[in-house]
Amino acid sequence: MMNVNQQYYILDNVLSMEECLSLYHSLQETSAWSLSRLSKKLANRNLGQFSSFPGFNVETNGEIHNEYFSGYFRSMMFRVKSIIKKEHGIRLPATIKRIHLGAKNSQSKTEFHVDSENENAWTVLGFLNPVWDSKNGGEFFVENNKIEYKSARFVIFKSNLKHNGGFITNEQLSNWRISLNIILLDEDE
Q: What is the DSSP letter of 136?
A: G
Residue 82 lies in a domain: yes
Note the pLDDT of residue 128. 95
In angstroms, the CA 91 to CA 95 distance is 12
Residue 44: is its pLDDT beyond 80? no
87 located within any domain: yes
User: Does the residue 189 lie in any domain?
Assistant: no
Taking only the tens place, the pLDDT of each residue in 101-129 is: 998 877 777 788 999 999 999 999 999 99
Q: How far is residue 71's CA from residue 50's CA, in Å, rounded to a whole number?
A: 32
- pLDDT tops 70 at residue 42: no
Q: Is the dihedral of CA 25, 27, 30, 36 positive or negative?
A: negative
Per-residue pLDDT, 169:
81
Asked if residue 102 belongs to a domain, the reply is: yes
User: Judging by DSSP bridges, how do beta strands 63-64 and 53-60 pair with one another?
Assistant: antiparallel
User: Which strands form 145-147's sheet, in the order they lie side by side?
Assistant: 145-147, 140-142, 163-165
Domain count, the chain: 1
Model pLDDT for residues 136-180, shown as the tens digit of each residue: 888 899 998 999 999 999 999 999 999 988 778 878 887 888 999
Asked if pLDDT for residue 2 goes beyond 60, the answer is no
pLDDT of residue 75: 96
The percentage of residues in the chain with a pLDDT greater than 90, rounded to a whole number, is 60
Range(s) of the domain holding residue 79: 31-37+63-106
